[in-house]
Amino acid sequence: MSSLDTIRESWATRAGFILAAVGSAVGLGNIWRFPFQVGQEGGSAFLLMYLFFILLIGLPAMLVEFTVGRRTNRNAVGALRKIGGRAWQYVGGLFILIGFIILSYYSVIGGWVLRYFGGSFTGGYTADSEAYFFEIATGFDALLFHAIFMALTVGIVALGIKQGIELAVKLMVPSVIVIMVGLAIYAVTLPGGTEGYTYYLSPDFDVLASEWRSIVPAAAGQAFFTLSLGMGVMITYASYLSKDRNLAEDSGVIIGFDTGIAILTGLIVFPLLFAAGIGAADPGPGAIFVALAGAFAEIQYGLVLGVLFFGMFAVAALSSAISLLEVVVSYAVDEYGMNRPVATGIIGGGIFLLGVPVALISDGGNPIVIDLYDILAAEILLVIGGILVMVLVAWFNADLARDELSKGIGRLGALGSLWIWLVRVPVIAVLLISLGLAFLGYYEFLSDEFIPFVSG
């Protein structure tokens, strides 16, 4: 039996599939990246654009990936080849590249989470939460915990223990929700937090009007990143589904969970940041770590909450990391007939190496290589991957897609045509605009920040 059959078996139930997909979607993107982006991109203006993109782009794009996966029952590269012919397998190759890049820095941040989880037993991290973050974000500790996080990810994927992943996810989703709701309620009681809510929730159209050039690509990139779209994860997961599943319903549930957890994170982080006097103006990649570690130092039972929170955070990050690695590994196993543990070890080792500069290079304590990788992967590469799959499906294989979506739903009627039209015109147009803006933004980042930094 090939490894793919093994995976297909475990995703055979609806709960298994949904939990796996939620496990992939809910991760650092919701708890780390989302508040960081909100802080960088003007608060509520970004939130508004992000929610709009989740509905306008995220939902139709997820349906596209699901229909491709279920139709072909193949891994991401094989799936595109089957639908589009040989040339399209290179888009699959792009997915593999994206997986490499994202996991390399994802694992460094996952390492921070593990480090905070360890620190939360003693509360050692809380003394000066900002200084602590800068101390551990780059350097030897960062490298060590990057190695541990990567080893855990490799270990699970190498064993192919889908039951293990499913079990972790079954515990994770409810626990994350309970802990997040608890923290959000606590945040309400904080004096000085009100400004945080205003910053996060009251729509500021002036910021939107003046900053749309960076808000649009950031929001589109975040929509793809948080929903695990644009690199074949959802294609792969849906390839293990039976034909009677209602894909539209499942997408709604997955997106609902993912968006709910992101919104909750903002309801925790911003009041805490403002209450702690840190504020939210561009808090950088350390936002969530600084805000929460500082808060856990103050509150009753803070230590216990810290252990629970960072423990759940680590599991959430791991269940996403596994899905990233799985796309690459299943490709190596399928297309080259490699032995799974060997393939996982080699690929994991390569990804670890790619993450070494992220863990070691700092700009005055700030882990600057994260931006170099993250903007490239999330705002440029995922969006290119997404556009290409949507062109393939909506422009060249619309009948097939409608037919596939209708299985498990029944007659689609006008909704099916609306979906295809949405993808064909507005979704692709918005993504192309975002991509153009992202190129400009990345060029600016390189010329204003990164190159001056490298050239000292």
Phi, psi of 204 (to 5 degrees): -120, 95
| Residue with the shortest CB distance to ligand PFF | 29
66 vs 134, beta carbon nearer ligand PFF: 66
Interaction of residue 259 with ligand PFF, rule CB under 6 A: no
Q: Are 154 and 346 in contact (CB under 8 A)?
A: no
The end-to-end CA distance of the chain, in Å, is 54
Interaction of residue 113 with ligand PFF, rule CB under 6 A: no
Among 37, 323, 344, 397, binds ligand PFF (CB under 6 A): 323
Listing DSSP states for 273-311 in one string gives HHHTT---SS-GGGHHHHHHHHHHHHSTTHHHHHHHHHH
Q: With 0-12 CB in 10 A as exposed, 13-18 as middle and 19+ as buried, what is 127?
A: exposed
CA distances 369 to 180, 387, 444, Å, are 29, 26, 15
Interaction of residue 27 with ligand PFF, rule CB under 6 A: yes
Contact region for ligand PFF (CB under 6 A) — 19-27, 163-171, 200-208, 356-364? 19-27
Q: Cα–Cα distance between 177 and 412 in angstroms, integer?
A: 33
Among 18, 19, 28, 235, binds ligand PFF (CB under 6 A): 28
Query: What would you measure as the largest C-alpha separation in the chain, in angstroms?
Result: 62
Number of amino acids touching ligand PFF (CB under 6 A):
15
Minimum Å distance from CB 75 to ligand PFF? 13
Contact region for ligand PFF (CB under 6 A) — 15-23, 36-44, 228-236, 416-424? 228-236
29 vs 196, beta carbon nearer ligand PFF: 29
27 vs 42, beta carbon nearer ligand PFF: 27
Contact region for ligand PFF (CB under 6 A) — 222-230, 238-246, 333-341, 428-436? 222-230
31 vs 248, beta carbon nearer ligand PFF: 31
CA distances 202 to 42, 47, 92, 196, 199, Å, are 11, 10, 41, 10, 6
Q: Enumerate binding residues for ligand PFF (CB under 6 A).
A: 24-25, 27-30, 102, 225-226, 228, 231, 233, 320, 323-324
